Structure 1
Amino acid sequence: MAIDVVDAVRLAKANRRRDRRLLECQEELDQRAVDENAALQKARQTLFDEALLPFRDAFRRLKGVDLVELTAIERPAAGSKVGIGPRQPRKSAVTVAAVSALAGAALLVVGGPPLVGYVAEAGAYRAVRTFGSASTGRAIKRLSGAAARNATEAWFGRGPVAAGGGGRAAGKRVLSEIHATSANLTRNAIVKWQIQTLGDGEREKARDLDRRETAMSEAQDAASALHERSKDMQRVLQDLQFTLVRRLPSFTALVEECDDLARYDFRRRSEVATMVDLDGLAVMVMNCPIIDAEERMTEGSGRVIAAVEARLRAMQTE
């Protein structure tokens, strides 16, 4: 039994450590999601404020714009979710009280064995009073009061002292032994059953922790992949911002010099078209989610990033 108690205590403590590690991993993933969301939102906001708004202000001053239209875009909303949020692992009910109860088997027994011992003692006493006989040969059940009690106790003491028995004192000791023996046997049975029950519960918690650890490992892998996708998205947003801001002074000067698109030559029209193209790429990236409704990384975000990067490289050679 002692080995069972030690094993159960060790398993309970191990379950507590595993549960604590899972909660710490969960907190780390949640914090990573918050940080990446904030970084991506900052990149979107900067692109919007420093590149898209100034470009559109200048573009609206152009007259006769009938070749292109700008896609509507709203200011990025703070707090939109872009990070992954792993499912919350359930906290195991592995409490200090449970470990303490396992460590001290006496704490597992609350009132039951003493009551059983008393019942055993009372049962034996009633049986002798019903079926036993006094030293005189008279049935004890025909006696009453002190005479019946004295005869019953003397019976357990193997008769009165005068007849060579142990008398009432010996009988009382026998009754006490019946009480103690019954209580101890019952206590041992209860302790064994409760330890087995608690051990089974801890083993089930361990199996649940196995499942949670597998799910957490998958969530960590997904979070790592999402982290890389988020970094790629931020880089593309920054590249678009840099390109738009770099071209913006030339475009603004072009509009200030002449605000009638119909009077532009091929070179100036090409410059307008390039800026509109960059604007469209920026809108496409800003509106592209990197996770879906089920918090899985979208394949479309990878394709958008690749397409925008290819277009930016092509513009450098034009």
Structure 2
Amino acid sequence: MGIAIVDAVKLAKDNKRSYEHLDARRQSLAQKMAAESGAQQKSRTELYESALAPFQKVFGRLKNVDLVELARIDLMTGRNLPEAALPGIRIGVVQSLGVLAGGAAAGAGVGAATFAAVGAFATASTGAAISGLSGAAATSATLAWLGGGSIAAGGGGVAAGTTVLSGIVAAPVALALVAIVEWQGRKARNGERVTSAKLVEAAAALDRAEADSALVRRRSRQVRDVLGDLRVALSDRLPSLDALITSNPDYMTYTSEQRRVVAQPVAIASAAVMVMSTPIATDDGTVNEHIRPAVLAAKQRLLLMTEPS
């Protein structure tokens, strides 16, 4: 009796475990992305506050600047510092499943499994889900459902449901009511099979999301590393630039060596702006193909500045 419902209960338990496992993976992935996003934004803020903003203040005192000779830089303010919030992980299949209906079979008997299954999948005559009821209300609603519905709705009510569950009815009546249970069980089993297929799809989507986010986080760490190097390089050159402009703010009168003192921090600031303005990831959560060349270009620029300023 009720073999389909017993199968549905087992599938529901398996599906619930699968969902919980996928959801735990999703939450872990979201936490990793949030942590890296926070670290990335901290790196950018430190670069701006300790290097770019002081450079902007010093460089702004320079007069008669040759914009053809020097790299053009779009200096930022704290208000328009590019955000680096890494994209959230999109695994809508998992998220759309919601909390799966569950219900463990109490005991080893088919009758107990049927009772648990009805509680997991059926609705009372009032339209409320039996799984949302408790105590005597849940028991009565379950037995009435087994009895073909409430007496008011033309069914056999609690008494008939009790008889079905205990198996002490005339064979023709029992078979008729068991057929109802089996029909409802098949519906529930089919629903759980659909859910199982969706969970397989969700697992594949999560696999892809984990692979994409791992590469995004790797690129983000590379960006943080180069931004740190740029911050140190720019900070190291600011005292010389400040002293030069303080003594003589007219760029047109500078010697080649003095112009070099200006050109190096300008090039570093330009590289920093370029890196920070290049998105690390695209809207779909994959790595932006332009971020690696931007990082490599910034590293190359730093390598060319081997002489002390």
| TM bucket normalised to smaller | 0.7 to 0.9
Q: Is the 8 A contact 1:82 1:289 kept in 2?
A: no
Indicate the SS of the match to 1:104: helix
CA, structure 1 residues 4+246, in 2 after alignment: closer, same or farther (shift >3 Å)?
same
1:102 positional shift:
8.9
* Range that drifts further, 3-12 or 96-105: 96-105
Which residue does the alignment assign to 2:97? 91
Aligned partners of 1:6 and 1:103 also within 8 Å: no
Identity %: 32
| Equivalent AA in structure 1 for residue 270 of structure 2 | G
CA distance in 1, matches of 2:39, 2:79: 13
* Inter-CA distance 20–76: structure 2 relative to 1 (3 Å threshold): farther
**CA displacement at 1:298 relative to structure 2:** 0.5
Instruction: Confirm or deny: 8 A CA contact 1:290 1:298 kept in the other structure.
Output: yes
Matched, 1:239 2:239: no
Out of 75, 78, 82, the position equivalent to 1:75 is 78
Query: Residue in 2 aligned with 1:51?
Result: 51
Counterparts in 2 of 1:235 and 1:116: CA distance versus 1, 3 Å: closer
> What is the alpha-carbon distance in structure 2 between the residues aligned to residue 83 and residue 117 of structure 1?
59
Alignment partners' CA distance in 1, 2:112 and 2:15? 16
Deviation of 1:215 after TM superposition, in Å, equals 0.2
Against the structure 1 CA distance between its residues 78 and 183, is the aligned structure 2 distance closer, same or farther, given a 3 Å change threshold?
farther
SS of residue paired to 1:299: coil
Residue 127 of structure 1: aligned partner? none
Q: Which moved more, 1:1-10 or 1:253-262?
A: 1-10
Structure 2 alignment gaps of length 5 or more: 119-144, 158-168
User: How has the CA–CA distance of structure 1 residues 222 and 285 changed in structure 2, closer, same or farther, with 3 Å as cutoff?
Assistant: same
Equivalent position to 2:217, from 227, 231, 234: 227
Give the aligned partner of residue 201 of structure 1.
191
Paired position in structure 2 for 1:145: none
How far is the alpha carbon of 1:310 from its aligned partner?
A: 1.3
1:271 paired to 2:261? yes
Give the letter aligned to residue 16 of structure 1: K
Give the C-alpha shift of residue 78 in structure 1.
8.1
CA separation in 2, counterparts of 1:271 and 1:79?
A: 27
What amino acid is the match of 1:52? L
Q: Does 1:297 align with 2:303?
A: no
Quick one: distance in 1 between partners of 2:189 and 2:207? 27
Backbone CA RMSD of aligned residues: 2.8
Whose helix fraction is larger, Structure 1's or Structure 2's? 1
Post-superposition shift, 1:21? 1.3
Q: TM-score, normalised by structure 2?
A: 0.75
* 1:9 and 2:9 correspond: yes
* Structure 2 CA distance for partners of 1:81 and 1:65, relative to 1, 3 Å: closer
Within 2, Cα distance between the matches of 1:180 and 1:12?
32
| Cα distance, 1:3–1:190 mapped onto 2, change above 3 Å | closer
**1:62 counterpart = 2:83:** no
Structure-2 residue corresponding to 1:126: none
Deviation of 1:4 (Å): 4.6
Q: Does the aligned pair in 1 maintain the 2:280–2:288 contact within 8 Å?
A: yes
Shift of 1:295: 2.9
1:41 aligns to 2:22 (yes or no)? no
Q: Which moved more, 1:55-64 or 1:203-212?
A: 55-64
2:73–2:273 CA contact under 8 A, matched in 1:
no
The answer to whether residue 32 in structure 2 is matched with residue 26 in structure 1 is no
The one-letter amino acid of 2:114's match is A
- Superposed CA deviations along residues 49-74 of structure 1, whole A, max 9, x for unmatched, are 11111112111112221334532323
Asked if 2 retains the 8 angstrom alpha-carbon contact of 1:117 and 1:182, the reply is: no
Paired with 1:292 and 1:86, the residues of 2 have a C-alpha distance of 12
CA shift, 1:110, in A, is 3.5
After superposition, what is the alpha-carbon deviation per residue over 1:245-274, rounded to whole angstroms, capped at 9, x for unaligned?
111111111112222212211111111111
Distance 1:300 1:102 in 2: 63
Hey, what's the Cα distance between the residues in 1 that align with 2:114 and 2:32? 45
Q: Which has the larger radius of gyration?
A: 1
The whole-number CA distance in structure 2 between the counterparts of 1:8 and 1:54 is 67
| Pick aligned residue for 2:177 from 181, 187, 198 | 187
- TM-score, normalised to structure 1, is 0.73
| Unaligned ranges ≥5, structure 1 | 119-178
Equivalent-residue separation in structure 2 for 1:72 and 1:22 (angstroms): 44
